[in-house]
Chain A
Amino acid sequence: MVNDERADGPGLTREAILAALEAVKDPEIPTVSVVDLGLIYDVRVGDDMVEVDFAPTFVGCPALHVMEREIVERIQALGARRVQVRRVYRPPWTPDRMSERARQALRELGIAPPRPSAGEITPELLKGVPCPFCGSTNTRMENLFGPTSCRALFYCEACRQPFEAFKPL
């Protein structure tokens, strides 16, 4: 069967792959897909291989391996024989790549979405972060570091709730 030698089964288009990757979530943020987070830079369908350019938020994030494995599995389920996930570091991932849907989903989880930070990351970006529960900007950072590399701990003076914020990067 000649077709067996090809990476691309009948449904194996770039669009179909991106749609399938909507099901791959960051295990630490289980309602947001890797596509909405903006982690997928490119998908190339070649004759014998599908290549995915994947950008980590933080290099040391232990969830990277989980996401990469699931990306491979989802694309193989579409009929691809070989899938290679390549990590891209430049241009680095920044929150500007996150979709509005991802930002809303983060708020619903009680995580303030990151501010756009394509330029320098400055301490000002961590001031007056809007509370994901009540929207107040009367908030303060409690700790630059949190439960995952990408999250910092905050407190809202208005609704008196602690919350997490996705770090600008």
Chain B
Amino acid sequence: MASPSLKPNEAVSLPDPLREAVGHLLLAMADDEVLLGHRDAEWVGHAPILEADIAMASIAQDEIGHAVLWYSMLQALGWPDPDRMAYFRDPPEFRNATLVELPRGDWAFTVVRQFLFDYAEKVRLEALIDSAYPPLAAAATKVRREETYHLMHSRAWVLRLGDATEESHRRMQAALEQAWPHALGLFEPAPGEDLRVAAGIQPPEAELRVRWKAEVRPILEAASLKIPEAEPAYGGRIGRHTEHLAALLADFQMVARSGMGETW
């Protein structure tokens, strides 16, 4: 093998303000994925067709697996272990974008949310493949390939439902109106962005947002959906959430917090 193998679980030493800043980026990515994975998993046994049910279970498993990867990279930088991060923090400590905490809604909302998220993740990972933080660059290379299947899936559903029937169009457009401001919130800069950009860890979020819009716009238009004019719903990256996060966490964290020492 020509290129050396890089191991994400080994932290490359970072000077302190930058270590903190990289941690904020990883935290945002991990919290986004673990909560979206939980919302996706809520469809198990409830999706409109069996194939969709299996798809949501599989996508949920992928997202939660990716969250564990980002949390384990955080652990290598000095944060608590992944279980503690996922199960023993309260809402203000979560730094996910509010998009992923919203209730699962109808199937149209689920499809639209997943589509907007998947493409945001695509542009983020593609940028991070060139990150100056080697563990992150290596992990982004890996996860980006897997995400190809999520992209194929959510794009196909958006195109299928966008103009299938009057009702499917109405529901998809309503879902887009609801999800859009929160999806813009995926690009709310996590604390320390200036440091990360200066160190070559990531490009500015504003730049990622431009790339993301260029990706989703033609697909939404092909699906006869109109992108709403809306201000971004910011706050998630500094711990300000909707009322839905507390309810989600009550469900998600219940077993771990019961204090009975359950293990898988």
Residues in A lying within 8 Å of B, measured CB to CB: 41-42, 53, 56, 58-62, 86-92, 121, 123, 142-147, 149, 153, 167, 169
Residue of A nearest to B153 (CB): A144
Give the dominant DSSP class at A's interface. loop
Establish whether residues B55 and A60, one from each chain, have CB atoms under 8 Å apart when the complex forms.
Answer: no
The reply on B176 being an interface residue by CB < 8 A is no
The reply on B84 being an interface residue by CB < 8 A is no
Residue of B nearest to A117 (CB): B145
Give which listed residue, B5, B9, B145, B152, contacts A42 with CB less than 8 A: B5
Give which listed residue, A41, A58, A145, contacts B65 with CB less than 8 A: A58
Give every chain A residue within 8 A of B148 (Cβ-Cβ): 121
Give which listed residue, B6, B68, B143, contacts A88 with CB less than 8 A: B6
Q: 16 A-B contacts, Cβ less than 8 Å apart? A: A58-B65, A59-B143, A60-B66, A60-B68, A87-B8, A88-B138, A89-B8, A89-B138, A92-B142, A121-B149, A143-B55, A145-B51, A146-B54, A149-B65, A149-B146, A153-B54
Give every chain A residue within 8 A of B143 (Cβ-Cβ): 59, 89
State how many residues of chain B have any CB contact under 8 Å with chain A.
Answer: 34
Give which listed residue, B7, B51, B153, contacts A142 with CB less than 8 A: B51
Residue of A nearest to B59 (CB): A145
Q: Which of B1-38 contact A (CB under 8 A)?
A: 1, 3, 5-10
Establish whether residues A59 and B58, one from each chain, have CB atoms under 8 Å apart when the complex forms.
Answer: no
The reply on B139 being an interface residue by CB < 8 A is yes
Establish whether residues B69 and A90, one from each chain, have CB atoms under 8 Å apart when the complex forms.
Answer: no
Establish whether residues B142 and A90, one from each chain, have CB atoms under 8 Å apart when the complex forms.
Answer: yes
Contacts A88-B7, A145-B51 known; list 7 others, CB within 8 Å.
A60-B63, A86-B10, A88-B6, A89-B138, A91-B141, A144-B153, A149-B58
**A60-B65, A169-B145 given; A144·B55 CB < 8 A:** yes
Residue of A nearest to B138 (CB): A90
The reply on B75 being an interface residue by CB < 8 A is no
Bound Cα distance A153, B59 (Å): 15
Establish whether residues A58 and B146, one from each chain, have CB atoms under 8 Å apart when the complex forms.
Answer: yes
Establish whether residues A89 and B58, one from each chain, have CB atoms under 8 Å apart when the complex forms.
Answer: no
Establish whether residues B55 and A41, one from each chain, have CB atoms under 8 Å apart when the complex forms.
Answer: no
Establish whether residues B142 and A60, one from each chain, have CB atoms under 8 Å apart when the complex forms.
Answer: no
